[in-house]
């Protein structure tokens, strides 16, 4: 569905990503692992259109989208969440999702001109809230939700844009074990009909939910494969996972 083909990004003399290749398939979750500074955020930023690559290509359904803006990619069905929670805290859960859904419309801010379309947007927002596990909390002011629920709301906002490719940057950050377990369940349910890229430090969560894992070290892909292969890779253990007894 989405292909990163030899993506490279330099920052001055530093090579943050070097010829990174990643393929996201519909119906699967692909996790991107690596120590701090490995280049995961740089990679997700290039895929979302927040950062232009120095070289390499990004293909969506075979079409070259390397030069498209983040907004144009959103219209094509690529949605992303950010490491830091990115909601409007003073708005309700439903309003946050409605604004996200609205952003996909051709003229996003002309919302009072077409009641039928506005209705569609609200329906999409409601469906996204439900799918993200926040059903019943539509009228809650977002800033009063728990941390875990705010991260769920972020996911709901991505879903409200009708994204078919989800780029999720550390959705479990700062969560307790109960909240994490809930998020893992949520992620599992989101695979259906979508392709997901998950950048996440929580190993237990990654191994519980990923179909494919790519490990990056120093800006380059060290190894990519199913969880069992990564778990048993001597190279991965030596470079990165060796000291983690969960793996």
Ligand X SMILES: Nc1ncnc2c1ncn2[C@@H]1O[C@H](COP(=O)(O)OP(=O)(O)OP(=O)(O)O)[C@@H](O)[C@H]1O
Q: What minimum distance in Å lies between the beta carbon of 223 and ligand X?
A: 16
Does residue 126 belong to the site contacting ligand X (CB under 6 A)?
no
Pairing outcome for strands 165-169 and 14-24: unpaired
Comparing CB distances to ligand X, the nearer of 42 and 102 is: 42
Q: Whole-angstrom Cα distance, residue 69 to residue 162? A: 18
User: Does 60 interact with ligand X (rule: CB under 6 A)?
Assistant: no
Cβ nearer to ligand X, comparing 49 with 77: 49
Q: List binders of ligand X among 149-208 (CB under 6 A).
A: none
Locate 48 and state its tokens.
């979302």
Q: Binders of ligand X: how many residues, by CB under 6 A?
A: 11
Q: How far is the CB of 109 from ligand X (least distance, A)?
A: 30
How big, in percent rounded to 5, are the helix, strand and coil portions of the chain?
Answer: 40, 25, 35
16 binds ligand X (CB under 6 A): yes
Q: Which of 29, 166, 164, 169 is nearest to 86 (CA)?
A: 169
Q: What are phi and psi of 77, to 5 degrees?
A: 105, 20
In the region spanning residues 25 to 54, those forming contacts with ligand X, defined by CB under 6 A, are: 34, 36-42
Given a contact cutoff of 8 angstroms between Cβ atoms, the answer to whether 165 and 24 are in contact is yes
Q: Using CB under 6 A, list all residues that contact ligand X.
A: 11, 14, 16, 34, 36-42
């Amino acid at each position: 569905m989405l292909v990163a083909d030899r993506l490279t990004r330099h920052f001055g003399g530093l090579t943050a990503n070097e010829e990174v290749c990643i393929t996201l398939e519909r119906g699967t979750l692909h996790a991107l692992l690596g120590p701090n500074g490995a280049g995961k955020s740089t990679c997700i930023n290039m895929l979302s259109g927040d950062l232009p690559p120095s070289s390499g290509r990004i293909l969506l359904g075979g079409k070259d989208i390397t030069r498209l803006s983040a907004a144009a990619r959103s219209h094509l069905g690529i949605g992303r969440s950010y490491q830091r929670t990115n909601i409007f805290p003073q708005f309700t859960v439903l309003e946050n999702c409605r604004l996200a859904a609205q952003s996909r419309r051709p003229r996003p801010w002309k919302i009072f001109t077409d009641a039928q379309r506005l209705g569609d947007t609200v329906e999409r927002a409601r469906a996204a809230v439900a799918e993200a596990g926040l059903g019943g909390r539509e009228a809650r002011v977002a800033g009063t939700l728990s941390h875990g629920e705010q991260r769920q709301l972020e996911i709901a906002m991505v879903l409200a844009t009708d994204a078919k490719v989800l780029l999720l940057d550390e959705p479990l950050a700062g969560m307790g074990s109960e909240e994490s377990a809930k998020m893992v369940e949520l992620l599992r349910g989101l695979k259906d009909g979508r392709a997901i890229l998950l950048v996440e430090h929580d190993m237990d969560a990654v191994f519980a939910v990923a179909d494919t894992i790519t490990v990056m070290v120093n800006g380059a892909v060290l190894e990519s494969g199913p969880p069992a292969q990564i778990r048993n890779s001597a190279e991965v253990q030596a470079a990165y996972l060796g000291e983690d007894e969960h793996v």
